[in-house]
Amino acid sequence: MARANSRQRLGPLILGRATARPRGRLQWYAYLSILPALCFVALFAVYPVAFSVRLATHRYVLTDPHNHPFEGLRNVAEVLGSYYFRRAGLTTLTFTASVVASVLAFGVTVSHYLNRPGRLAGFLRVAILLPWAIPVVMAGIIWKWIFNGNYGVLNALLVSLGLIPSYVSWFGNPILAPLTLVIAHVWKWGPLAAIMCLATLQAVPRDLYESAHIDGGSGWAAFRYITLPFLRPTLLILLILETVGGFVTFDLVYVMTGGGPGDATSLLSWFAYAEIFRFLDLGKGAALAFIIAAVTLGLSLVYVRLLRLEALYS
């Protein structure tokens, strides 16, 4: 009886063949409801990607604007086979490995100290976030001035402390220039890592540390066997974010080094930009963008598989 009543109440939603027409109407209504969102996604995601596929598989050189023959995967093959891709790829891998390691180390170390009680703890937790709140381009400009070879504050400081005999051309040196990018990147993104780690650390029960202390465990042992296991899921998330972030870094390069000196800081994203806007080869630029996207997607998938939070916690 109750079942019959509920059927009556739900009406066309659960009745069979007899209610086919109203259900069709409802389906239309459902489709209409999501149509604006679909249009939005199509306009801002599907169309650009589809257009990029067209660019990558055709010859699109802007100095020859009316000639776009289909070239299949030739653009991809030419990009992959070029010396400059290999060079930019190696530079990108080195840069990404450096920033991932540095940001994680920064996050763990700083959060460890911020987690301690103290009068300045509240202030420091806010202050540490300031670099993260500054736009990347602004951060790049700040560091460009700090590292300036003629009037940079870092040179002045190091000379006044007697650590270097004369001003150093940070951006003119193919070994130091990539280092400046890593430092600026860590300054910009390290605080987020620190705050994420701090949030995790604050959830660690104090009793665990007290027990470790009572059992005679050292500070390092507490860190190794209590802090680090709790931090692992956060660190894995940061690993994904930083790997992808490092791989697609462009703005700092654009502002600070312009890919130089020579091609010492020419990352893959800069290489793609140069192919499009400097060499005016949209086809190769788009092909390169797909290669970068495929690599970052592949890396993300690997990391996501590792991210089995329950397993990690257990």
Residues that bind other proteins (CB under 8 A): 61-65, 149-150, 166, 169, 171-174, 258-263, 266, 274, 277-282
Name the residue nearer to other proteins (CB basis): 64 or 210: 64
Give the sign of the dihedral formed by CA 157, CA 160, CA 163, CA 165.
Answer: positive
State the nearest-atom distance from the C-beta of 138 to other proteins, in Å: 16
Q: Where do we find the tokens 């069709």?
A: 24
Q: Which residue has the tokens 């009680």?
A: 117
Residue pair 108/235 in contact (Cβ under 8 Å)? The answer is yes
Closer Cβ to other proteins, 157 or 309, answer by number: 157
Considering the complex, state which of residue 55 and residue 238 has its C-beta at the smaller distance from other proteins. Answer: 55
Please report how close the Cβ of residue 259 comes to other proteins at its closest, in angstroms: 6
The CB-of-149 to other proteins minimum distance in angstroms stands at 4
Residue 242 or 281: which CB sits closer to other proteins?
A: 281
Find the shortest distance in angstroms from Cβ 187 to other proteins.
20
CB nearer to other proteins: give 191 or 259.
259
Number of other residues whose CB lies within 10 A of the CB of residue 268: 27
**In terms of DSSP H, where are the helices of the chain?**
2-10, 20-41, 47-56, 74-81, 83-114, 121-127, 130-133, 136-146, 153-160, 176-201, 206-214, 219-222, 228-247, 251-252, 268-273, 282-306, 309-313
> What is the closest distance, in whole angstroms, from the C-beta atom of residue 261 to other proteins in the complex?
5
